[in-house]
Chains A and B, each alone.
Chain A
Protein backbone atom coordinates (compact mmCIF):
# COMPACT_ATOMS: atom_id res chain seq x y z
CA UNK A 1 0.00 0.00 0.00
CA UNK A 2 2.72 2.40 1.06
CA UNK A 3 4.85 1.56 -2.00
CA UNK A 4 2.19 2.58 -4.54
CA UNK A 5 1.83 6.09 -3.13
CA UNK A 6 5.56 6.69 -2.54
CA UNK A 7 5.87 9.44 -5.21
CA UNK A 8 2.94 11.27 -3.60
CA UNK A 9 4.47 10.92 -0.12
CA UNK A 10 7.79 12.15 -1.48
CA UNK A 11 6.04 15.22 -2.94
CA UNK A 12 4.51 15.99 0.47
CA UNK A 13 7.96 15.50 2.04
CA UNK A 14 9.46 17.93 -0.45
CA UNK A 15 6.71 20.53 0.00
CA UNK A 16 7.05 20.30 3.78
CA UNK A 17 10.83 20.53 3.59
CA UNK A 18 10.55 23.71 1.52
CA UNK A 19 7.80 25.32 3.64
CA UNK A 20 9.62 24.60 6.90
CA UNK A 21 13.00 25.69 5.51
CA UNK A 22 11.66 29.04 4.27
CA UNK A 23 9.06 29.95 6.90
CA UNK A 24 9.78 28.15 10.17
CA UNK A 25 12.91 30.07 11.26
CA UNK A 26 11.13 33.46 11.35
CA UNK A 27 8.03 31.96 13.01
CA UNK A 28 10.12 30.23 15.69
CA UNK A 29 12.27 33.31 16.25
CA UNK A 30 9.26 35.61 16.76
CA UNK A 31 6.64 33.36 18.36
CA UNK A 32 9.03 31.14 20.32
CA UNK A 33 11.69 33.64 21.45
CA UNK A 34 11.27 37.35 20.61
CA UNK A 35 7.67 37.73 21.89
CA UNK A 36 7.92 35.41 24.97
CA UNK A 37 11.17 37.10 26.07
CA UNK A 38 9.55 40.54 25.67
CA UNK A 39 12.17 41.88 23.26
CA UNK A 40 9.30 43.30 21.18
CA UNK A 41 5.65 43.71 22.16
CA UNK A 42 3.67 40.73 20.92
CA UNK A 43 0.69 41.31 18.63
CA UNK A 44 -2.52 41.12 20.66
CA UNK A 45 -5.33 38.59 20.43
CA UNK A 46 -7.66 40.76 18.35
CA UNK A 47 -5.02 41.42 15.72
CA UNK A 48 -3.96 37.77 15.42
CA UNK A 49 -7.55 36.53 15.48
CA UNK A 50 -8.53 39.00 12.77
CA UNK A 51 -5.54 37.82 10.75
CA UNK A 52 -6.29 34.12 11.25
CA UNK A 53 -9.89 34.28 10.02
CA UNK A 54 -8.90 35.73 6.64
CA UNK A 55 -9.26 33.03 3.94
CA UNK A 56 -5.71 33.52 2.63
CA UNK A 57 -4.27 33.23 6.14
CA UNK A 58 -6.24 30.02 6.70
CA UNK A 59 -4.72 28.49 3.58
CA UNK A 60 -1.29 29.78 4.65
CA UNK A 61 -1.68 28.18 8.11
CA UNK A 62 -2.83 24.88 6.59
CA UNK A 63 0.27 24.80 4.37
CA UNK A 64 2.46 25.94 7.27
CA UNK A 65 1.31 23.09 9.52
CA UNK A 66 0.28 20.18 7.29
CA UNK A 67 3.17 19.96 4.82
CA UNK A 68 5.83 20.05 7.55
CA UNK A 69 3.96 17.29 9.43
CA UNK A 70 4.31 15.08 6.34
CA UNK A 71 7.93 16.17 5.99
CA UNK A 72 8.49 14.92 9.55
CA UNK A 73 6.60 11.69 8.90
CA UNK A 74 8.60 10.79 5.81
CA UNK A 75 12.03 11.71 7.10
CA UNK A 76 11.53 10.36 10.61
CA UNK A 77 10.29 7.07 9.18
CA UNK A 78 13.61 6.54 7.41
CA UNK A 79 15.58 7.82 10.41
CA UNK A 80 13.97 5.08 12.51
CA UNK A 81 14.79 2.47 9.85
CA UNK A 82 18.42 3.64 9.70
CA UNK A 83 19.15 4.13 13.39
CA UNK A 84 17.54 0.85 14.44
CA UNK A 85 18.74 -1.02 11.33
CA UNK A 86 15.16 -2.20 10.90
CA UNK A 87 14.35 -5.02 8.55
CA UNK A 88 11.02 -6.06 10.06
CA UNK A 89 8.17 -3.86 11.25
CA UNK A 90 8.77 -1.16 8.65
CA UNK A 91 5.13 -1.04 7.59
CA UNK A 92 4.03 -0.36 11.14
CA UNK A 93 6.47 2.56 11.50
CA UNK A 94 5.32 4.00 8.17
CA UNK A 95 1.67 3.63 9.18
CA UNK A 96 2.26 5.37 12.53
CA UNK A 97 4.27 8.26 11.00
CA UNK A 98 1.96 9.08 8.09
CA UNK A 99 -1.06 8.36 10.29
CA UNK A 100 0.09 10.95 12.85
CA UNK A 101 0.64 13.53 10.08
CA UNK A 102 -2.81 12.78 8.68
CA UNK A 103 -4.47 13.14 12.09
CA UNK A 104 -2.64 16.46 12.62
CA UNK A 105 -3.83 17.65 9.21
CA UNK A 106 -7.46 16.73 9.92
CA UNK A 107 -7.32 18.58 13.28
CA UNK A 108 -5.76 21.59 11.53
CA UNK A 109 -8.47 21.66 8.83
CA UNK A 110 -11.18 21.32 11.45
CA UNK A 111 -9.73 24.16 13.55
CA UNK A 112 -9.28 26.43 10.53
CA UNK A 113 -12.85 25.78 9.36
CA UNK A 114 -14.39 26.47 12.77
CA UNK A 115 -12.25 29.46 13.76
CA UNK A 116 -14.29 32.61 13.60
Chain B
Protein backbone atom coordinates (compact mmCIF):
# COMPACT_ATOMS: atom_id res chain seq x y z
CA UNK B 1 0.00 0.00 0.00
CA UNK B 2 1.42 3.40 -0.92
CA UNK B 3 1.66 6.18 1.64
CA UNK B 4 -1.23 8.05 -0.01
CA UNK B 5 -3.43 4.97 0.07
CA UNK B 6 -2.52 4.44 3.72
CA UNK B 7 -3.55 7.99 4.54
CA UNK B 8 -6.82 7.64 2.68
CA UNK B 9 -7.49 4.48 4.66
CA UNK B 10 -6.90 6.54 7.79
CA UNK B 11 -4.28 4.18 9.20
CA UNK B 12 -1.06 6.10 8.71
CA UNK B 13 1.17 8.12 10.97
CA UNK B 14 2.15 11.74 10.37
CA UNK B 15 2.77 12.76 6.78
CA UNK B 16 6.41 13.14 5.71
CA UNK B 17 6.99 15.40 2.76
CA UNK B 18 9.24 13.51 0.34
CA UNK B 19 12.75 14.99 0.27
CA UNK B 20 14.68 15.13 -3.01
CA UNK B 21 17.83 13.05 -3.33
CA UNK B 22 19.60 16.32 -4.17
CA UNK B 23 18.53 18.21 -1.01
CA UNK B 24 22.14 19.18 -0.33
CA UNK B 25 22.76 20.94 -3.68
CA UNK B 26 20.73 24.09 -3.08
CA UNK B 27 22.44 25.36 0.05
CA UNK B 28 26.14 26.23 0.41
CA UNK B 29 26.43 24.90 3.97
CA UNK B 30 24.74 21.61 3.03
CA UNK B 31 26.94 21.31 -0.06
CA UNK B 32 30.13 21.82 1.96
CA UNK B 33 28.92 19.26 4.50
CA UNK B 34 28.27 16.64 1.82
CA UNK B 35 31.60 17.32 0.06
CA UNK B 36 33.35 16.82 3.42
CA UNK B 37 31.45 13.59 3.95
CA UNK B 38 32.26 12.39 0.41
CA UNK B 39 36.01 12.86 1.00
CA UNK B 40 35.77 9.47 2.73
CA UNK B 41 35.18 7.87 -0.67
CA UNK B 42 38.52 9.21 -1.91
CA UNK B 43 40.24 8.17 1.33
CA UNK B 44 38.84 4.68 0.70
CA UNK B 45 40.02 4.71 -2.93
CA UNK B 46 43.58 5.55 -1.92
CA UNK B 47 43.60 2.96 0.89
CA UNK B 48 42.67 0.33 -1.71
CA UNK B 49 45.30 1.68 -4.12
CA UNK B 50 47.94 1.41 -1.37
CA UNK B 51 46.84 -2.17 -0.69
CA UNK B 52 47.17 -2.85 -4.42
CA UNK B 53 50.72 -1.44 -4.32
CA UNK B 54 51.72 -3.62 -1.35
CA UNK B 55 50.17 -6.68 -3.02
CA UNK B 56 52.11 -5.95 -6.24
CA UNK B 57 55.32 -5.55 -4.20
CA UNK B 58 54.71 -8.93 -2.57
CA UNK B 59 54.10 -10.63 -5.93
CA UNK B 60 57.48 -9.70 -7.39
CA UNK B 61 59.19 -7.32 -9.83
CA UNK B 62 56.94 -8.08 -12.84
CA UNK B 63 53.73 -7.51 -10.88
CA UNK B 64 55.16 -4.31 -9.45
CA UNK B 65 56.22 -3.06 -12.90
CA UNK B 66 52.65 -3.69 -14.13
CA UNK B 67 51.31 -1.67 -11.18
CA UNK B 68 53.68 1.22 -11.97
CA UNK B 69 52.63 1.16 -15.66
CA UNK B 70 48.94 1.26 -14.74
CA UNK B 71 49.45 4.27 -12.49
CA UNK B 72 51.06 6.17 -15.38
CA UNK B 73 47.95 5.84 -17.60
CA UNK B 74 45.94 9.08 -18.03
CA UNK B 75 42.91 7.63 -16.25
CA UNK B 76 44.87 6.90 -13.08
CA UNK B 77 46.74 10.21 -13.17
CA UNK B 78 43.39 12.02 -13.44
CA UNK B 79 41.91 9.87 -10.66
CA UNK B 80 44.87 10.55 -8.37
CA UNK B 81 44.63 14.27 -9.09
CA UNK B 82 40.99 14.18 -7.94
CA UNK B 83 41.92 11.98 -4.96
CA UNK B 84 44.59 14.49 -3.91
CA UNK B 85 42.16 17.45 -4.04
CA UNK B 86 39.47 15.70 -1.99
CA UNK B 87 41.97 14.29 0.52
CA UNK B 88 43.50 17.76 0.99
CA UNK B 89 39.97 19.02 1.74
CA UNK B 90 39.67 16.19 4.26
CA UNK B 91 43.05 17.08 5.82
CA UNK B 92 42.14 20.76 6.24
CA UNK B 93 38.63 20.17 7.61
CA UNK B 94 39.92 17.39 9.88
CA UNK B 95 42.84 19.34 11.35
CA UNK B 96 40.59 22.37 11.87
CA UNK B 97 38.19 20.18 13.87
CA UNK B 98 40.88 18.59 16.06
CA UNK B 99 40.84 21.38 18.73
CA UNK B 100 37.10 20.82 19.19
CA UNK B 101 37.70 17.15 20.00
CA UNK B 102 41.14 17.17 21.64
CA UNK B 103 41.16 19.25 24.80
CA UNK B 104 44.62 19.64 26.35
CA UNK B 105 45.09 21.16 29.79
CA UNK B 106 48.43 22.47 30.97
CA UNK B 107 48.76 23.74 34.55
CA UNK B 108 44.99 23.82 34.96
CA UNK B 109 44.49 25.96 31.86
CA UNK B 110 43.02 24.86 28.58
CA UNK B 111 45.53 25.11 25.73
CA UNK B 112 44.08 27.51 23.12
CA UNK B 113 42.49 25.97 20.00
CA UNK B 114 44.90 27.79 17.70
CA UNK B 115 47.94 26.20 19.33
CA UNK B 116 46.47 22.68 19.14
CA UNK B 117 45.55 23.15 15.47
CA UNK B 118 48.99 24.62 14.69
CA UNK B 119 50.68 21.67 16.42
CA UNK B 120 48.76 19.24 14.21
CA UNK B 121 49.54 21.22 11.06
CA UNK B 122 53.19 21.11 12.15
CA UNK B 123 52.94 17.35 12.61
CA UNK B 124 51.49 17.09 9.09
CA UNK B 125 54.52 18.95 7.68
CA UNK B 126 57.03 16.85 9.67
CA UNK B 127 55.46 13.51 8.70
CA UNK B 128 55.13 14.53 5.04
CA UNK B 129 58.79 15.56 4.99
CA UNK B 130 59.77 12.24 6.59
CA UNK B 131 57.85 10.17 4.00
CA UNK B 132 59.21 12.33 1.16
CA UNK B 133 62.73 11.98 2.58
CA UNK B 134 62.54 8.19 2.68
CA UNK B 135 61.07 7.87 -0.83
CA UNK B 136 63.09 10.62 -2.54
CA UNK B 137 66.53 10.63 -0.87
CA UNK B 138 66.81 6.84 -0.38
Residues of chain A having any CB pair with chain B under 8 Å: 14, 16-18, 20-33, 35-37, 40, 42-43, 45, 47-49, 51-52, 61, 64-66, 68-69, 71-76, 78-79, 82-85, 104, 107-108, 111-112, 114-116
Complex: how many Å from CA A72 to CA B57? Answer: 24
Complex: how many Å from CA A28 to CA B50? Answer: 9
Q: Smallest CB–CB gap between B72 and chain A, Å?
A: 4
Is B54's CB under 8 angstroms from A42's CB? no
Chain A residues within 8 Å of B124, by CB:
21-22, 25
Chain B residues within 8 Å of A28, by CB:
46, 80, 83-84, 87
> Does B21 touch A at the CB level, under 8 Å?
yes
> Does B68 touch A at the CB level, under 8 Å?
yes
Chain A residues within 8 Å of B68, by CB:
35-36, 42
Given known A22-B124, A30-B135, A84-B21, contact A111–B87 (CB-CB < 8 A) = no
Count the B residues whose beta carbon is within 8 Å of the partner chain — how many? 54
Interface residues as binary, B42-83 with A (CB distance below 8 Å gives 1, 0 otherwise): 011011111101110110010011001001100011011101
